[in-house]
Amino acid sequence: MEYIVGFTLALFFCAAAAWLSMDRERAFYPAVVMAVATYYLAFAVVDGRGEVMRSEVVIAAIFIVGAVAGFKRNPWIAVAALGGHGVMDGFHHHLVNNTGVPQVWPGFCMTFDVTAAVLVALVMLARTRRERERLAGLSRGDSGRNARAGIQPGAWQARHSRRCVRAAVASRGG
């Protein structure tokens, strides 16, 4: 049951984030990774042993560093950290004997994390593809919507579109 709930919740979570455009902010998924990484700390409080808390802090720190790197450097690092946390959930009990972890948690969290990471990766790939297609259309003088509708741009529109593309490329360091 925990696998079904983890999968379903990840689907709803990612769909809602995309539908509400919450996931367009660069900090969104790194913040999700940071939150996911800290749940075992709460379970360590329930366990009550200092050595368990220290072990959980080290593990959480690894994923928090991945989340920060995903925010600062490349969002794919955050996707990998989310998926990696899911993989870690599968063998967490071999790393730390945290008696505060509910029995169903590893299966739920593993399924949620891996499903969410796959969905985020698919959304990022689709958005990248759409952006490339849009920029390719602009570089040809298309205005996107007009090109799909079969409307040819006027001379001014074509010059303006090419200038916008050049400015966009120049601002990205290209």
Tens of pLDDT, residues 17-72: 989 988 888 899 999 999 999 999 999 999 999 999 999 999 999 999 999 999 99
Q: What is the separation, in whole angstroms, between the first and last Cα of the chain?
A: 50
- What pTM does this model have? 0.75
Phi-psi region of 143 (alpha: psi -120 to 50; beta: other; left: phi over 0): alpha
Q: How many CA atoms lie within 13 A of 60 on its CB side?
A: 19
- pLDDT by residue (tens digit) across 139-148? 766 555 555 5
Q: How confident is the model at residue 131 (pLDDT cuts 50, 70, 90)?
A: confident
Element (H, E) at 129: helix 105-139
Query: How many angstroms separate the CA atoms of 61 and 58, rounded?
Result: 5
Query: How many angstroms separate the CA atoms of 132 and 127, rounded?
Result: 9
